[in-house]
Amino acid sequence: MKQLIESIVKPLVDFPEDVRVNVNEEDQRITYHLTVNKTDMGKVIGKQGRVAKAIRTVVYAAGSSQQKKIFLEIGE
């Protein structure tokens, strides 16, 4: 899942080397923390959050086979 997030986000940004995905796994949930360069935040979020919503939709669909709830947080 980490590679999926990176492969979606890296082509969108100007600084792909700054893309980081950290995983926090708990009993009933898995949280992915996506961090990008400060100047790339607008590209990852998109107008009215459309790009971020699309990324989350793909990640949630890919993780639907797991028994845990998937969350994606985007930050600097």
CATH code of the domain containing 60: 3.30.300.20
pLDDT at 65: 84
> What's the domain count of the chain?
1
Residue 8 has phi, psi (to 5 degrees) of: -80, -40
pTM over 0.85: yes
What confidence tens digit (pLDDT) does each residue in 26-75 have?
Answer: 989 999 999 999 999 999 999 999 999 999 999 999 988 888 899 999 98
Which domain does 64 fall in, by range? Answer: 2-75
Q: How far apart are CA 54 and CA 68, in angstroms?
A: 20
Strand ordering across the sheet containing 20-25: 20-25, 29-35, 69-75
Query: Is 50 strand, coil or helix?
Result: helix
What confidence tens digit (pLDDT) does each residue in 6-33 have?
Answer: 999 999 999 999 999 999 999 899 999 9
Residue keyed to tokens 């360069």: 37
